[in-house]
Amino acid sequence: MNRTRIAVVGFAAVLALLAAGLAGATTSSHAKGSHVSALKGTITFDGIWTSTSGQKQFQDVINLFNKTYPNVQVKYKPVGDNLPTVLATAIAGGKPPDMADIAQPGTVAQFAKQGKLKSIAYARSTIAANFAPAWLSLGTYSGKLYALPFKAANKSIVWYNVPAFKNAGVKAPKTFAQLLADAKTIKSSGTPAYSIGGADGWTLTDMFENIYLRTFGAAKYNALGAHKIKWTDPSVKTALTTMAKIIGDTGNIAGGTSGALQYGFNDSVTNAFASPAKAAMVFEADFVGGVITSSTKAKANTGFNTFTWPSITPGPDAGAVEIAGDLFVAFHDTPAIEAFVKFLAAAPAAEAWAKQGGFGTGNKNVPASIYPDAITRTNEAPISSAKSVVFDMSDEQPPSFGATASQGEWGLFQDFLKTPSDVAGIQTKLEAAAAAAYKKGK
């Protein structure tokens, strides 16, 4: 997705790991299973996590696997952010790794369509026993199960500056109407309410996606993501109009519109949690926590806290969660790979990382108590308990539309931030860009 996110997740993980180490992490009780030394083999695994962003935690997961399968060697290669490009090149060269970790469902779909992936249907029953059905469909492309959603990040979160909220005398809002009212109060208290990292287009699409999800529910959300609903649809108009209530409130945004367009994601976080605060809240995912702890002095609970994206339309999907996640795919099929995939789908593998922080999972057998602190628990527990879960829409779309700097959706939402009044114009442009991207994808 982007390197900031990855770095941030990693940093959070490292911090949490230190904390866990100090607290004297207990050894996992799941490792006592019998040894299967008969199974031998090597698995090459390309992933985005580097030494500063989760490689160590994933190695812990591998080590746990090796306690049961001591003769299977998993060779993890930290490729970093460019993974989709590296994989595409490796596939073109005929030498893909055995397994890989891909953050974009759009890329998985592309590889699946090209027939490069091996189905992991052998792990279906394990996944079904551990995840809600929605997760199986997240990994299913044209009827076949290809991907295991090993790691997930909750994107339906708002982070807020506790002293700024206290100064304004407001509490974390539960509804969108309350959020807007509180924002007005916060403005009167002398601090802009919103911090927006508009230089990174994905922060804007994330905001739109949460609004759309909370207004129209998961089914329509997924239809829009698959371009079965057009961007000129009235529902998009409603969601954009709702979004304009936030981004159109120029005087209530740190730095105003022009400032927001220059602040990247990291800046938006430091603006909101610096002292004195330049803004009161940031609409972004669980990985914001890592930036707060690494670049500001704010402390959990007294300095920063989170609330769930407020509900807009009451209904069954009011508590739906938007996630970004890591999808594990296999390019080969061997007994060793099958054993590893099944192991990863079960709770102990997720717990080995989850207890260190910086990790969320849809695995319903991972108890919420495994998360190292209260804020992490609030953020990550809904991923497995939410009634409906959707994937980050812009990651699902063809990358030229949903994931390219200054092009397609990212660029057009930056235009929308510049002129929030022009809802119809943005809709037309979004539809044109989406139509071109989907046409090419076919």
Partner 1 sequence: MSAGGITAEPPVAAAPPPAAGPGRLGKYVTGAIFLGPALFLLGVWMVYPAVYTIVRSFFGEHGFIGTWVGIDNYKTLFTTSTLLTAIKNNAIWVAVVPALVTAIGLIFAVLTERVRWAVAFKTVVFLPMAISAFATGVTWRIMYQQDPGLGAVNALGKTISGVFSPAGVLSQASPSIPALQTTPSGALVLKTATHPGGIVLLGLTGIAPDQVPKSAVQAVTPPPKPGDVVGTVWRDFKPGGGKVGVVEKQELGLPGVTVELRDAAGKTVQSTTSKPDGSFDFSKVPQGTYHAAIGAKTFAKPFGGFAWLGPSLIVPSLLIAYIWIWAGFAMVVIGAGLAAMPRDVLEAARTDGATEWQTFRRVTIPLLMPVLSVVFVTMIINVLKVFDIVYALAPQSEYAKANVIALAMYFTAFQGGGNFGVGSAIAVFLFILVVPVLALNIRRFRRDM
Positions that interact with partner 1 (CB under 8 A): 84-85, 88, 92, 166-170, 185, 187-191, 198-201, 255, 258-259, 261-262, 264, 276, 399-400, 402-408, 410-411, 414, 417-418, 440
To partner 1, the closest distance from the beta carbon of 112 in angstroms equals 14
Nearest CB to partner 1, comparing residues 96 and 382: 96
How far apart are alpha carbons 6 and 48 in whole angstroms? 8
- Shortest distance, CB of residue 251 to partner 1, whole angstroms? 8
3 state SS of 99: strand
- 314 CB burial (10 A radius; 0-12, 13-18, 19+): exposed
| Shortest Cβ 74–partner 1 spacing (Å) | 29
Between 167 and 238, name the residue whose CB sits nearer to partner 1.
167
Return the HEC string of 308-373.
ECCECCCCCCCCCEEEEEEEEEECCCCHHHHHHHHHHHCHHHHHHHHCCCCCECCCCCCCHHHCCC
Nearer to partner 1 among residue 54 and residue 84 (C-beta): 84
Shortest distance (Å) from residue 434 CB to partner 1: 14
Closest to partner 1 by CB, 70 or 256: 256
Shortest spacing between CB 93 and partner 1, in angstroms:
8
Question: In angstroms, what is the minimal distance from the CB of 410 to partner 1?
Answer: 7
Contact 136, 130 (CB under 8 A): no
Comparing CA positions, the residue from 259, 47, 244 lying closest to residue 150 is 47
**Residue written as tokens 């866990």?**
20
Of 264 and 335, the one with the shorter C-beta distance to partner 1 is 264
Q: What angle do CA 5, 10, 16 make, to 5 degrees?
A: 130
- Pairwise CA distance, residues 134 & 106, whole Å: 17
Q: Which residue, 13 or 193, is less far from partner 1 as judged by CB? A: 193
